[in-house]
Each structure stands twice: as C-alpha cells, then as structure tokens.
Amino acid sequence: MPINEMKTSTCETHPSLVAGLVLLAVTTFVPLAHAESQQDMLVFASLSGVDIFSVSDPALEETDKRATASFLYTYNNNRFRFVGEYIWSNTESELERLQAAWQFDEQTMLWAGRFHSVSNFWTTEYHHGQFMQTSISRPGLEEWEDESGPMPSHVTGLWLQHKYATGSESAIDFSLAAGLAPRFEGQQLMPFDVLNPEPGHELSVAGRIAYRPDVLSNSQIGVAIAHHDIAVSSESNPALADFNTITQSTFGVFGSWHWKKWVLLGNFVYFDIDLDYVDGGVKDKFLLGYVQAEYAASEDWTVFGRTEFGDGEDNSPYLQLLPAVVAHRQMLGVRWDIADAHALTMEIADTSAQGADLSHDHFKEIRLQWSAVFP
C-alpha cells in the first residue's frame, strides 16, 4: 500500500484511537496527583450585538445578538497539568479544549489532547476569553473554524513545549505539535471531536518559536510554520464535489510590543495551498495579515484600532470556498473597564468578506459588548 494511502486509511479507520489515547493520558496521570494541588475554575461571560448595514448585497443586512459563556478549568499538581474548556452560546455548545500534560522539568512540558493550534498567534494569546482581548472581533485571519477561519484553530494530538532561558530576564519559547487536522465540510473546517470521534481526519504538524525579551512582559516576536492535510467531505457542498484533498502549508511572522500606554500586535501569514481535484490540481498562494494598536488613554479607557489586509487573496480559489472569511477590515473601537472583571466595548468597522465569487461582499458593522470573568 502506498504511504499516502496508508496514512489516510489509518486516520479514517481509527479516529477513536486518538480519543482513547487522550482519555488514557488524563486517567493515567490524574491518580499521580496528591494533596499538594491547585485547581481553578473561571467563567468568561459576554453579551454582544452586531448591526451590519450599508451592504453590497441586501441579503447580508442583519442584526444579531449573542450570549456566550466559556468555562475554563485548570488543575496543577507537582508535574501534572490539566486544562478543560467548554463553551456555550445561543448558537453553539462545544468542548473546546481537553488536554493533560506532564512537566519533565521547569523548562519542558508534553501535552496530550485537544488544544489550540500553536501556529495561531491570536488564539494562543486569548483563547475563548472575550474579556482577555481588548477588541470584540477577532482578525479574519485567525477566526474560529466554525466562523469561516482559513486555517485550523484546534488540533487533537501531542504538543511539546520547551522554554530556553537566554539571560536573567529573556527567554525563547519552543512549541512543536502533531495530531489530527480538521476536515473541510460545507463552507468551513471541522475539527476532530474527542467526544464524538468520526473518520476523515488526516495529519497536522506545526512549530513555533518566540523570543521574549522580558519573561514578565507579554512582548514577544516569533515565527510559526504549519502543514495540514485536510480531507474534504465532497458530499457536504456542491462546490466540493470534485475535490479529493486540500493540502495547506503556512509560514507566519507574529509579534506584540508593550510599551508604557501602548500595545502593538500583528501577524502575517503566507499560505501555500494545493487543491487536489478529481481531474487535476490547482496551486493557491496568498498572504493575509493584520496590525492592531491599543492606547490606554486612562486607567479605565482604552482606544484601539485594527487594519486587516492581504496580497493575492482576491482571486484565491481556496478562500472562495470560505465566503464569510474577512480578508479586509478597517476597525476602530473603545473599551471601558468598569470594574476589575467587567468591561464595555464598542467597535465600528468597514469590512469586506470574500463572498462566493470575485465580487466580494462589502458592508459596515457596529458591535457592542459586555464581557466579564468570574469569580
């Protein structure tokens, strides 16, 4: 059997094996814990609304409201770590993270389970906690899979972390992850579900290196690379009828800079994609990126803005499979931290979504949000 066929057969036939290994890792290490342990439960809650107007297509005009709660549980005991996260909203309910780790020493840790992709900068910084990020919206580049994100946000497998101290204050963080990639269904990527394992998921590998000049600060600069073999559910969308697989390779440069009252962060990702059709293949290459600036006008008020852009994405056959993905946005916003754990935020934006053809969908949007973390 050819190697590529062997790989596909293994992933499609035994997805439950991955789920079993994840649960085995958790149940194996938990008994090693004893009295000297620490556990925390945080609830990130938010109420948000968006009004979309001045649209190029009248069918896009809408007003939407969303209530969301993310339940984050963490457990630390000696060398054992566990993270579980469940998200609920009026539009979805899903187990987002289920990961257990063993810490070999102060620098090295190995995780097993379902975790956020190490190649997604925004995701690994803020996860699902709306209160943690200054803005309401996420950059289109790093949107969640079920929100038409162009690259995987969740991977189920193994994740190795290592921190190398370069001096008394600086450090280099290394991450290497491998596991099951999402599959393409309908108009979105669908990650592997640990609680409901299904066939059709292939290999995902990713690596990340970040330099932190001060380990006590959030400032960092780094690079991330990833390769995903994405199986296609051809029966889920007529546009996918002639597809076999999608092979996605990415190279990203990211950074965040914190200085006095200013925060500047950004990510630029180059996509190299092979679309494998029944009657041949198509190469697709493009760049997506964003830059967000934040200014603390006072102790309670923060003004921020973000620009999102691309190069070569307008004619991308891959992005045309994701009509809701945002490739262009000019956004301004303000956040008011009304208490230690509560915030009110407003955003206005001029946005372009990819659309189902080359004409794209243009609209303006205004967002309002209350976010908090408990306890």
Count Cβ neighbours within 10 Å for each residue of 150-178 and write b for 16 or more, e otherwise: bbbbbbbbbbbbebeeeeeeebebbbbbb
pLDDT digits (tens, 9 = 90+) for 78-97: 899 999 999 999 988 999 99
Is residue 35's pLDDT more than 50?
Answer: no
Query: Is the model's pLDDT at 28 over the cut of 70?
Result: no
8 Å CB contact between 362 and 351: yes
- In this predicted structure, the answer to whether residue 25 has a pLDDT above a threshold of 70 is no
Q: Maximum Cα–Cα distance for the chain, whole Å?
A: 65
- Cα–Cα dist 276/17, whole Å: 27
pLDDT, mean of residues 344-369: 92
**Separation CA 351–CA 330 (nearest Å):** 7
- Residues 117/98, Cβ–Cβ less than 8 Å: no
Is residue 334 packed enough to be buried (19+ CB in 10 Å), middle (13-18) or exposed (0-12)?
middle
pLDDT at 216 (0 to 100): 86
> Which pLDDT value is given to residue 167?
78
Residue 222 · residue 197 · CB < 8 Å:
no
The Cβ of residue 1 has, within 10 Å, a number of other Cβ atoms equal to 7
What pairing do the DSSP bridges indicate for beta strands 342-353 and 188-190? unpaired
d(CA 341, CA 370): 11
Count, in order, helices (H) and strands (E) of the chain.
Answer: 3, 18
pTM: 0.89
Which pLDDT does position 24 carry in this prediction?
54
Tens digits of residue pLDDT in 42-80: 999 999 999 999 998 887 888 999 999 999 999 999 899
Nearest to 69 by CA among 44, 32, 47: 44
Q: What share of the chain is helix, strand, coil (3-state, %, to 5)?
A: 15, 55, 30
Rounded Cα distance between 52 and 364, Å, is 6
Q: How far is CA 81 from CA 27, 29, 43, 112, 374, in A?
A: 12, 9, 19, 10, 21
Q: Which CATH architecture has domain 3-374?
A: Beta Barrel (2.40)
Q: Is 290 helix (H, G, I), strand (E, B) or coil?
A: strand
Residue-averaged pLDDT of the chain = 90
pLDDT band at 8 (very low <50, low <70, confident <90, very high): very low
Distance between CA atoms of 174 and 303, rounded to whole angstroms? Answer: 32
Q: Rounded CA gap, 365 and 346, in Å?
A: 11
3-state SS assignment for residue 25: helix
Please say whether the beta carbons of 49 and 370 come within 8 A.
no
Which of 26-30, 196-200, 292-296 is modeled with the greatest confidence?
292-296
73 to 1, 100, 127, 151: CA distances (angstroms)? 44, 12, 13, 26
Q: Say which residues have a Cβ less than 8 Å from residue 79's Cβ, sequence separation at least 6.
A: 102, 103, 104
